Amino acid sequence: MIAAPVRHVFESRGALAAALAQAVAGVLSKAIARRGEGFLAVSGGTTPGLFFAALSDQPIDWEKVTVTLVDERFVPPSSGRSNAGLVTSTLLRGRAQAARFVPLYAEAGSVEEAAALTAGALAGLPWPLDATVLGMGTDGHTASFFPDATNLPALLAPQVPRAILPVHADSAGEPRLTLTLARLVDTGFLALHVEGAEKKAVLDRALDGASALPIRAVFDAAKGPVEVYWAA
């Protein structure tokens, strides 16, 4: 039995972005007050643009915030498909420019080598996360937990020492790097940001248990209610 998600429904995507940014900023501020720093993992893709713009403007002590990614495509930051490129150009500006960004991508001959290199950088970060903001694809993937990932059970394992794993999935376009489910749900604030009717229908099916989509594993593993942010 999963904890019922908390659903936040908005009239517009702009209103959603503003509310989610405020919620995340509040969580980070509390973490800074409690332990001197805040640690946030965000998703890439097309959905978070407005949210990143709103978050970058939040008046918090960004110098004490570390930002990393939930997942990354195995492409250099200069690529239009790079999630690091997106975060750099849309989130790490204005007030948020002062934050520390730790990318998942590393230049290497293979995604396996890159994962090993990045694992070293991640080891020094202030785990657990204070806030995780996930997205979702219409195939029910989140982070890089693609339904056809060759190592899906390892990515979704409830306990795994690794923070980051390489991913190969035909549907993903290119190899990926992803934080593991266990790391992503070990967080003070777990949000799922989805927009549009098609994604809502996918999410509802996953929550009904009508389909065993990777997104369902997030709800099964979450330590508390998942905060679902949705707008048409």
Q: Which residues bind ligand 6PG (CB under 6 A)?
A: 43-47, 70-71, 73, 83, 135-137, 142-143
CB 202 to ligand 6PG: min, Å? 11
Estimate the crossing angle of helix 13-35 against helix 49-56, to 10 degrees.
Answer: 50
Longest dimension (CA), the chain: 46
Question: What whole-number distance in Å separates Cα of residue 174 and Cα of residue 150?
Answer: 13
3-state helix, strand, coil in the chain (%, to 5): 40, 20, 40
In the complex with ligand 6PG, the residue whose CB is nearer, 29 or 68, is 68
CB 10 to ligand 6PG: min, Å? 16
CB 137 to ligand 6PG: min, Å? 4
In the complex with ligand 6PG, the residue whose CB is nearer, 28 or 177, is 177
CB 192 to ligand 6PG: min, Å? 9
Question: What whole-number distance in Å separates Cα of residue 220 and Cα of residue 186?
Answer: 13
Contact at 8 Å (CB) between 36 and 64?
yes
- Residue number, nearest CB to ligand 6PG: 135
In the complex with ligand 6PG, the residue whose CB is nearer, 118 or 142, is 142
Distances (CA, A) of 12 to 7, 75, 160, 199: 15, 32, 38, 15
CB 77 to ligand 6PG: min, Å? 13
In the complex with ligand 6PG, the residue whose CB is nearer, 29 or 44, is 44
In the complex with ligand 6PG, the residue whose CB is nearer, 38 or 137, is 137
